[in-house]
């Protein structure tokens, strides 16, 4: 009986890791509609909307996203919630504190869950999440706003 519980737990961990890796791969390939398939409904809508903003993001920023490294440190479970601790960036520094991504089990499937405000606090039971796509969205929003400001400034200049 204990063996089946251990293998079941390991199986759940593999399912969670699989969802996270498929999500991350889609994000890195800038396929946000694909990435949204691995998210719960509201998170999926937020991730899909990022795809619409990508046209305004400079090519060098897109390349940074595509080239980013990602490594899972560990997975923890609390009932129907999983917490995936990971490192990401140009290089992986395991001396840095791992970030945390939250997944919830919905109808037997693991889905990424994040708060759309800032990606740091969820409204679900006050749990903390440091969701990577919340950070991606903030970076993309900042780049898009910068592009809009530059476009607005160009439009208001009078020809000489």
Assigned token pair, 109: 């499937």
- Check residue 122 and give its pLDDT: 39
Contact 73, 144 (CB under 8 A): no
Q: Which residue, among 79, 72, 75, has the nearest Cα to 22 in the 3D structure? A: 72
CA gap 60, 74 in Å, rounded: 31
Q: Which helix (H) or strand (E) holds 72?
A: strand 69-78
Contact 138, 119 (CB under 8 A): yes
> Over the stretch 74-119, which tens digit does the pLDDT of each residue have?
999 999 999 999 999 999 999 999 999 999 999 999 999 998 553 4
Assigned token pair, 95: 């001396």
pTM of the model as a whole? 0.69
- Check residue 41 and give its pLDDT: 96
- Check residue 55 and give its pLDDT: 84
| 73 compared with 121, residue with greater pLDDT | 73
- For the chain, domain boundaries: 2-152
Ranges assigned E (strand) in 12-158: 69-78, 81-89, 99-106, 109-113
**Average of pLDDT values for 7-17?**
81
Distance of CA 158 to the CA centre of its chain: 42
Assigned token pair, 128: 């903390």
Contact 113, 39 (CB under 8 A): yes
Contact 127, 81 (CB under 8 A): yes
Q: Which helix (H) or strand (E) holds 8?
A: helix 2-28
3.30.230, 1.20.1530, 3.10.450, 2.30.30: which CATH number matches 2-152?
3.10.450
**Average of pLDDT values for 133-153?**
49
> Over the stretch 15-69, which tens digit does the pLDDT of each residue have?
999 999 999 999 999 999 999 999 999 999 999 998 889 889 999 999 999 999 9
């Amino acid at each position: 009986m204990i063996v089946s519980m251990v293998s079941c737990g390991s199986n759940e961990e593999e399912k969670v890791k699989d969802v996270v890796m498929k999500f991350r791969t889609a994000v890195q390939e800038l396929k946000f509609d694909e990435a949204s398939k691995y998210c719960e409904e509201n998170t999926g809508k937020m991730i899909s909307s990022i795809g619409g903003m990508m046209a305004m993001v400079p090519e060098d920023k897109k390349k940074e996203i595509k080239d980013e490294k990602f490594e899972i440190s560990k997975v923890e479970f609390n009932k129907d919630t999983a917490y995936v601790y990971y490192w990401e960036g140009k290089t992986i520094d395991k001396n840095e504190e791992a970030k945390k991504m939250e997944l919830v089990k919905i109808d037997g499937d693991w889905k990424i869950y994040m708060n759309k405000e800032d990606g740091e606090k969820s409204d679900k039971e006050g749990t903390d999440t440091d969701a990577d796509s919340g950070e991606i969205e903030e970076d993309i929003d900042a780049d898009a706003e910068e592009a809009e400001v530059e476009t607005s400034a160009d439009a208001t200049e009078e020809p000489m």
